[in-house]
Amino acid sequence: MRTIATLAELKTLIGQEIAVSDWIGIPQEKVQQFADVTGDHQWIHTDVERCHAESPFGGTIAHGFLTLSLLPTMMESAVTMGDVKMAVNYGLNKVRFPAPVPVGSWLRGRISVLAVDDIPDGAQVTWQISVERSGSDKPVCVAELISRRYS
């Protein structure tokens, strides 16, 4: 866990990787729950038998948006800021899914600070999070996440 005392300190970290999140497991049950919540039941995510027979991935894979939805959890396990009363997600700039996430994978995020811009009572922070899969050299998701932090 990386503790950053102030927004001023955060500004000194622009351009640097500042933290790595905890690992998060991706079991089939989590993929199925995501499919049920979102209504995205495409067979490459939910039909284990068909995937073993037909999929080029050899088994089911997680939804890209499931991986993306884990970014706040990754941030929470990796970074805390001392003078922030409230933080909100503001949006995303760029998101790419360069590699699949086979069910059974373990993921973690590498977190960098790209920009810190002053706003009334706080800062808008642009983070880059590169999500890696255990045992793979290629990231499964690379995203620019924007948050607003108020002190």
- Contact by Cβ (8 Å): 62, 97: no
Helices (H), the chain: 7-11, 28-38, 43-46, 48-54, 64-69, 71-78
Least Cα distance to 131 among 84, 87, 82, 69 occurs for 69
Q: What is the pLDDT of residue 82?
A: 87
CA 74-111-142 angle, 5° bins:
85
Percent with pLDDT over 70 in the chain: 100
In the predicted model, residues of the chain with pLDDT beneath 70 are none
Residue range 130-139, pLDDT digits in tens: 999 999 999 9
pTM over 0.85: yes
Q: What is the pLDDT of residue 84?
A: 86
